[in-house]
Structures are given as C-alpha cells and as structure tokens.
A and B are shown apart, each in its own frame.
Chain A
Amino acid sequence: MKLAVKDVLGLEYMTPQDIELILNTAKDMKKIVTGRMKRVNYLQGRTVITLFYENSTRTRVSFELAAKYMGAHAVNVSVGVSSVAKGETLIDTGRTLEAMGADIIVIRHSQAGAPNLLAKNIKASVVNAGDGMHEHPTQALLDMYTMREYFGTLKGLKVAIIGDIYHSRVARSNIFGLTKMGASVKLYAPSTLVPPGIEKLGAKLCSSIEEAVDGCDVVMSLRIQMERQKKALFPSANEYTRFFGLNPERIVNLNDNIILMHPGPVNRGIEMTSNLIDGKNSMINQQVTNGVAVRMALLYLLTGGQSQ
C-alpha cells in the first residue's frame, strides 16, 4: 500500500483512489488513537519534522502525536527559534532538515505554494499542513473521514460550508476533496469574502443561509479571522452573527441527522452559538480525534505502508 504521490500538497492533486486509501487506513489508526496502548512501530526509525512558519496548536500537536504514536522521531521546528529568523530561504531550510535525515517534512506556511516549492527542491516527502489561502489537505481529509464515519459514505452527501471562504484553505481543500468523492458542496458567505470564480471549482454559491443549509447532511462553519478585520471585510462581529452565524433557529427545520462541523478554533457565539457547539449534532471533538488518525494514515502510507 502506497500513495501514488511523493508529497501531499493538496487534494486538488490527489486521486479519489488515494483519498479512499487514506480514509480506509485511518479507520484502523483510529483504534490506536482511541485505545489504551497508543503505540505501534509502523514508523520506527523514521523521522518526521514539523516545520511551522505560522502559529498552530492543534495541527502541529496532531501531526506530532500521529508520528509519535507510530514510533517515529518527531521534531518540531518553529519560526521564532530557527535560522529562518536569520534570513535562510525555505529551500535551504528544507535541504538542511533533509540532510539531517528527515523522511517527511510537514510544513505550515503563511504563503500559498510554499509546500509546492519545497517539494520541488527536496527528495523527502512534503506534507502540507496549511499554506496561505491555498489548501489544508489533512483538515479536509479528517473532515471527510468524520462525515464518512457518520454517514457510511461520502457519495451523494450534501455539505454546506458557511463563512469566510475567501481566506479559507479549509474550504478549498474540502471543495476539491468532497467533489472528487461524489459529495456536493454549497457555499454561503458575506459577498466580500467570496473569492472570484469559486463556483468553477465545482461548488454552488447560495444567496441565503437558508438556501445553503436546506436539505444538507453536513453544515460546516468556518472561522472568522478576526485578525483580518482591519480590512473591514464585514461591518462587525455582531452583524456577522445576525446574517451568517449558525444558531438553533437556523437548523431547527433541518434533518435531525444533520451534523455540524468546524475546523476550529471556534469563536463562540459568533460563527456558532455555544449550545450548537456543545450539542448533540456537533462533531467538533470527533474531528480532532479523527485528525490524529487521518494523519497517522497519511504518514504511514507516505513511508511505504509496511505493517510490522
């Protein structure tokens, strides 16, 4: 078992077969994550380095645990304490880490395409842990895993994604991945946060939140990036919540089986009310658990997928 690609740069570049393989493998990995003995030797002797140019807690810890649960050497490099601060280029940093024996470099970067650049210039596998507004493939894989686990299949699922589509790599990866796997995607956002041509990626842009969630199996809410508010992309958090936030009234008429998702971290009360976040339809905590399982599957398959 092996992926068709050396690197995981985005779901745009991944075949449905590889997505299927990762999701199937993650099922076994989840048993390890949720079991008492979180230790297998699938990656024994391998080295996984997380190279983070952007702050992150959950994604970095998730990758680190995924590597460690499988017995790999896992090392974190974050910008503040590395030679990046001394002006070293991304390629040179990558080659240095490779020269020290990295088998897989997991990179998060504020600029779109940085993982592509790194992958082109080193032999080690590169995994994109989020690049600018481009892609966040492992987030979409864990989202798809969560949906598939709940509904049994992705084919025919109707997914609504609500929020800041413009800045969201999560939205882009989910659109690429879900449409490849036969699900359909509807979008709704403040019009200032809709990137041009987004429908050409295969999603349908809706004109009201009611239209977006109508008939849906999954409603995914995206984080409002408050740090971007200085650009005045919407008038206020209050107005955002009124027109774009999820609250019980907005989903009361929907299928009881609907699930609510959010990539986190959540701005409570803005994107979603607390009673939805903590309610029975919320999958937010399962998403986090599944994230470790999916990342284990990915690292395992990238290193050749030999079970010991």
Chain B
Amino acid sequence: MSILIKNVNIVNSTGVESSVDIYIENSIIKDIKKNLDIEVQKIIDARGLYVLPGLVDAHCHLRDPGYEYKEDISTGSRSAAKGGFTSIACMPNTDPVADNPAVVTYIIEKAKKEALVNVYPIGAITKGQKGEELAEMGSMKEAGIVAVSDDGRPVMKSSVMKKALIYAGQFNLPVISHCEDLDLAEEGSMNEGFMSTKLGLRGIPAAAESVMVARDVLLSEYTGIPVHIAHVSTKSSVEIIRNAKKNGVKVTCETCPHYFTLTEEACEGYDTNAKMNPPLRTQEDVEAIIEGLKDGTIDIIATDHAPHHFDEKNVEFDNAPNGIVGFETALSLSYTALVETKVITLPQLVEKLSTGPARILNLKKGVIDVNEDADLILVDFDTEYTIDVSEFASRGKNSPFDGFKVKGKNMMTIVGGKIVYVADD
C-alpha cells in the first residue's frame, strides 16, 4: 500500500513543518517534501489538518485475559485507534496476571491477530502482583514485555522494590511504580480533604502517594537504576520529583489528563465515574501538575485507560472499582487544557503524548521522519466538539468527561502504513 498525504502540517516534538507532503510505502515513511508528485494507491488531501506521530500510551488496561466483559484486546485497540494512539503498553493486572511468559505471549499473539494498533505488554514486577517474589522478568522480556510494573498493587516492601530495580536494570526494563502507601491510604475511596468530609467518605491522603514517590526516588538514587512514577497526582509528588531531577536522579514520571482537568469536586453526588486511584485531588494539586508539565518535571501524559462495565460502576461509591476510560479523550483534553491555554506548545504536546513515552519504553516510535515507521494521526485542532461517551469504541463508557466541549479531534489513524481509523465526519 502506498499513501500520499498532501498539504499537511507536521508536528514533531522538535517543531512544526508547514504544508508538506508525506509519502508512505508499505509500513515506512519514504519521503517528506513540498509538492511531492508520486503515483500512489491513495491520496489524502489533509489541508488544514495537522499530522502527528501516532500517540504512545505508557499506561493502559486492556482487561484481556480475564475481564473481557470490560474490554478486550480488539475493542481496546479500536478505542486506542479512535483516540489517536498507535502504540499502547498494557498493564499486567489481568486474570491470570501477566507475570510469566505464557500470558505475555498470549497477549502478543492475540494482538497480532486482532489489534488495530501496536500492543506492548508490561509484565508484573512480582509473582501475582503480590509484592513478595520477583516475577520472571528476563523470560518475559524475551516474550516481548517493554517494562515491568505491579500496577495498582504497589510494592509495599522496600527491600523487594530495591531488588526489583536492580534486577530489572540488568535487563534494561523500565520499572513503572504506582506509588501509594497502602497503610496510609487505609480504606479510602477518594482524596482526603473537604469533599471526603462533606460526602462522609474515607479519604486517601495526598501523602499516601508522595511518601512512596520519595521512597522510590531514594531507591533509584541508591541503586542508580531509573524509575518511572505512574500517574502523579499531588503537588508534593511533583516537588519531590523536581528536586530529584535537579539532583541527577534518573526518575521520570507521567500524569493523566484527569489530574490536570478535574478536582475532587467531581465526586459530588457520589459520581463513581470520578472514582480512580490515585483519586482526583484539589485545585492546588491541579495547578502543580500543570506547572510540572510546563517545566518538564512531568515527562509524559498517559491515559490509565481503565474500562469497567456499567453495572460495576452503578453501585455504592465505596464498592465501585477505580478507573476511567481514557484513550478517546486524552488528546483533546490535553490539547484543550494545555495548548489552547498556552501552557505548552504543540511540539511539547507531541513530546508528552508520543515521543516521550516512546523514549521511556525504548520504542522506536514517536517521530515523523524519512525511514521511520508510518504510525501517524491526522488531527483537527480547530473544530470544537462535544465528548459523547455513547460514541466511544471502547466497551467501557465510564468517563467523567461526557458532555465536555473540547478541541483536538483525531480524524485519521495510520498504523504501519495502514489506515485503521477514519472519523465519520
């Protein structure tokens, strides 16, 4: 298949190139020039649109195997494609847990058959995510994992975390840490603060996160092995990471769109679509996250796409599972909250959503250039539209953003030179 995209503005993390043509042959970008005149099978006139390297998500949940009623590799990949993600790294909290090469192989093989986008499994740090014994990281790397993480079940024992860093370091596997001191979090189901007091719900203090961020930063400094902090949500976490970076610690981190667009007030009325872990925090935290994105303390934006069934969320707040879907809102929320408001530039947005995550996961992705993989998206940044969860391709409709007016709509997704998604209008 050969494609010629005409009259497009290319946004890389390094800058914008206006009104050029992109020539794709098979799965590779063959040429980028003004006024290319080549015989191709398909010509796309993309005047007025921007082409970005396909987005890369370092943190999502595809629920497959084990929870296919929430999402599976096929539906998850369709949701990703619709949202503009061409490469996604999925967390190991499946059933069975991806803590061995067999489950990893299952995911990779199923993705080859059914997925519209590139799927990269993340293996567990410990067997069964139990935080006790190291999982077979080496064998899982051979099977295809790109990182290790115990996801929502933080490695509480510092000695295990220290060994995990050292061992993963030997295999050059990034370690992604969900930072939460479970002892401090107790049985909390939202942020501890005024809203938890008003709603009478048990709170998770901000310190439950930052205490463990500090521990992991110190362990990274001690071992000399990089650590990647998942979904940073608090002001104090941002400050700890900022200082660590200043001191040369090899720490990177991500946040998610909901941590810079929503506060704990979204839990009003016991809205379980505002329940996630870490929980939505306060306005002060939101501002600190935005500042962290601006000054580079926060390296990347991940979705933490966490689909759940309607029935699971339509229960008492305490009983509802954590998490919201994110693939189909991340780009527009990030653009609207960060670029429209001039917090960051368009190339910086590409850094946060594509080039940066690719670098952290050691993927050769996230760049539009000759001889690079043809993973591209075409985006309309000008037209405002309304988020409608009923239109999501994901099996999960659990989003607090239904009805939000945003800009930054993905119009087309190309993965490996194949058009896998085209917007209806």
> Is A111's beta carbon under 8 Å from chain B?
yes
Which of chain A's residues 114-145 have a Cβ closer than 8 Å to chain B?
114, 116-117, 121, 131-135
> Is B201's beta carbon under 8 Å from chain A?
yes
In the bound complex, residues from chain A placing their C-beta under 8 Å from that of B398 are none
Query: Closest CB of chain A to B309's CB: distance in Å?
Result: 13
Tally the A-B contacts, defined by beta carbons under 8 Å.
66
**15 A/B residue pairs, CB under 8 Å, sorted by A:** A12-B198, A90-B316, A111-B318, A112-B200, A112-B270, A113-B316, A114-B316, A117-B270, A132-B201, A132-B318, A134-B201, A172-B197, A196-B197, A198-B197, A200-B198
> Is A89's beta carbon under 8 Å from chain B?
yes
In the bound complex, residues from chain B placing their C-beta under 8 Å from that of A121 are 314
> Is B401's beta carbon under 8 Å from chain A?
no
Q: Which residue of chain A is the closest to B315 with respect to CB atoms? A: A89
In the bound complex, residues from chain A placing their C-beta under 8 Å from that of B223 are none
> Is A74's beta carbon under 8 Å from chain B?
no
Query: Closest CB of chain A to B274's CB: distance in Å?
Result: 12
Instruction: Write out, one digit per residue, whether chain A residues 177-208 have a CB within 8 A of any chain B CB (1) or not (0).
Output: 00000000000000000011110110000000
Tell me which of A89, A132, A196 contacts B203 (CB under 8 A): A196
In the bound complex, residues from chain B placing their C-beta under 8 Å from that of A200 are 194, 198
Instruction: Write out, one digit per residue, whether chain B residues 304-347 have a CB within 8 A of any chain A CB (1) or not (0).
Output: 00000001001111110000000000000000000000000000
In the complex the two chains form, is B200's CB within 8 Å of A172's CB? yes
> Is B79's beta carbon under 8 Å from chain A?
no
Which 9 A-B residue pairs are closest in the complex by CB-CB distance?
Answer: A134-B200, A197-B194, A113-B270, A133-B200, A112-B200, A195-B197, A111-B316, A111-B318, A113-B317
In the complex the two chains form, is A132's CB within 8 Å of B200's CB? yes
In the complex the two chains form, is B200's CB within 8 Å of A201's CB? no
Contact (A112, B199) CB under 8 Å given A90-B315, A117-B270, A117-B316 = yes
> Is A60's beta carbon under 8 Å from chain B?
no
Instruction: Write out, one digit per residue, whether chain B residues 191-228 have a CB within 8 A of any chain A CB (1) or not (0).
Output: 01111111111110000000000000000000000000
In the complex the two chains form, is A169's CB within 8 Å of B315's CB? no
Given the complex of chains A and B, what is the CA–CA distance between A109 and B314 in angstroms?
Answer: 16
In the complex the two chains form, is B197's CB within 8 Å of A112's CB? no
Query: Closest CB of chain B to A12's CB: distance in Å?
Result: 7
Given the complex of chains A and B, what is the CA–CA distance between A201 and B311 in angstroms?
Answer: 33
> Is B403's beta carbon under 8 Å from chain A?
no
In the complex the two chains form, is A197's CB within 8 Å of B201's CB? no
Question: Number of residues in B with C-beta < 8 Å to the partner?
Answer: 21
Query: Closest CB of chain B to A166's CB: distance in Å?
Result: 8
In the bound complex, residues from chain B placing their C-beta under 8 Å from that of A111 are 316-319
In the bound complex, residues from chain A placing their C-beta under 8 Å from that of B248 are none
Query: Closest CB of chain A to B364's CB: distance in Å?
Result: 47
Interface size class on chain A is 20 to 34
Tell me which of B196, B202, B314 contacts A91 (CB under 8 A): B314
Query: Closest CB of chain A to B80's CB: distance in Å?
Result: 31
Tell me which of A114, A117, A197 contacts B197 (CB under 8 A): A197
In the complex the two chains form, is B316's CB within 8 Å of A201's CB? no
**Main SS at interface, chain B:** helix
Given the complex of chains A and B, what is the CA–CA distance between A192 and B269 in angstroms?
Answer: 27
In the complex the two chains form, is B199's CB within 8 Å of A134's CB? yes
In the bound complex, residues from chain A placing their C-beta under 8 Å from that of B200 are 112-113, 131-135, 169, 172
Given the complex of chains A and B, what is the CA–CA distance between A195 and B202 in angstroms?
Answer: 10
In the bound complex, residues from chain B placing their C-beta under 8 Å from that of A91 are 314-315
In the bound complex, residues from chain A placing their C-beta under 8 Å from that of B317 are 111-113, 117
Given the complex of chains A and B, what is the CA–CA distance between A109 and B318 in angstroms?
Answer: 12
In the complex the two chains form, is B193's CB within 8 Å of A196's CB? yes
In the complex the two chains form, is A109's CB within 8 Å of B197's CB? no
Query: Closest CB of chain B to A152's CB: distance in Å?
Result: 31
List 9 additional A-B contacts (Cβ < 8 Å) besides A131-B200, A172-B200: A111-B316, A112-B317, A112-B318, A113-B199, A113-B270, A169-B200, A172-B198, A196-B194, A196-B203
Query: Closest CB of chain A to B299's CB: distance in Å?
Result: 31
In the complex the two chains form, is B315's CB within 8 Å of A117's CB? yes
In the complex the two chains form, is A116's CB within 8 Å of B270's CB? yes
In the complex the two chains form, is B315's CB within 8 Å of A113's CB? no
Given the complex of chains A and B, what is the CA–CA distance between A252 and B212 in angstroms?
Answer: 50
Q: Which residue of chain A is the closest to B192 with respect to CB atoms? A: A196
In the bound complex, residues from chain A placing their C-beta under 8 Å from that of B201 are 112-113, 132-134
Given the complex of chains A and B, what is the CA–CA distance between A197 and B196 in angstroms?
Answer: 9
In the bound complex, residues from chain A placing their C-beta under 8 Å from that of B318 are 111-112, 132
In the bound complex, residues from chain A placing their C-beta under 8 Å from that of B269 are 116
